[in-house]
Amino acid sequence: MPACYKSVTMTLTVRKLHPLFGAEIGGVDLTRPVAAGTFEEIRSAFEEHSVLLLRGQAIDDSQQIAFSQLFGPLETTVSANPAGGTAFARQSNLDINTGDMIPVDDRRMVYQRANFFWHTDSSFKRVPALCSLLSARICPPEGGDTEFATLRGAYATLPETMKQKIEPLIAEHSLAYSRGLVDPNVLTEAQKAEVPPVKQRLVRTNPVNGRKALYVSAHASHIVGWPFAEGRALLDELTAHATEPEFCFAHRWRNGDLIIWDNRAVLHRATPYDTVKYKRLMQRTTVAGDAPTVAQ
């Protein structure tokens, strides 16, 4: 535990956000230190509910990093992100240096449009992320919601024949593929080389509770060893199933909200807002996973 995070015991409350996943956690103040026992409760709720909402968290960057590190080591963002090379994946229409609003045709804004696709964070890395923590610093009065979909719930309702079919399959994931869906030129050749394509299992098992989940994402381009079109069709079919309304909910952000989600078991996507009229600043920290899902 970081030295700046000394223990303070808190009494937690849990309120479900959706019948299948998601919970709002109350009784936590992340501007103050969190006791080890309290964090154990939060981590247990994370494994059970996949998405946790903590409201009223007026945290700064250092407090967000300190709390995020309780889950594990943090990833460093890729250079293409507006805050590349730091612990933060900045989701914003504000220039990181001047605070001015970024023009809609700026490469930084084009890059962020891929967030409108259903995805899991960092599945394009050899060791995919455990979880993401997104802190709402400045929210627009309308638009800019985040939608979540449970990949556990979706997997559980698949026919047994489909479960058996996809169990051994491996997909290739690539940041260049997902960003290329928006603009094939949004990444430079150097940025593409920074994160080359990787292989990921199509079905993942939670090591704590044994629950299985689909592992699909906009970063997944094709099934390894299959004709591209056939594999693409299967990925599209599984993603469409996973994002049916019964498996989803949308979160309307307020300033001070913090959401933690399990990238092993949840898809998410951004929704549009008026980037010319309104300011928006969201700071995301991403906790690294502990191993590849398959040998590369």
Catalytic residue list: 119, 121, 268, 284
Eight-class DSSP state of 75: P
CB atoms within 10 A of CB 35: 15
Phi, psi of 57 (to 5 degrees): -100, 90
Residue by residue, DSSP assigns 207-257 as TTT--EEE---TTEEEETTS-HHHHHHHHHHHHHHHTSGGGEEEE---TT-
Q: Output the CA angle 84-86-89, nearest 5 degrees.
A: 60
3-class DSSP assignment, residue 264:
coil
Please, what sign has the CA dihedral across residues 12, 13, 17, 21? positive
Eight-class DSSP state of 186: S
Where do runs of H (alpha helix) occur along the chain? 36-49, 61-68, 107-112, 151-156, 160-166, 175-180, 189-194, 228-242
Residue position matching structure tokens 């990444």: 187
293: its two tokens: 């899902």
Give dist(CA 286, CA 121) in Å, integer. 8
Give dist(CA 159, CA 280) in Å, integer. 42
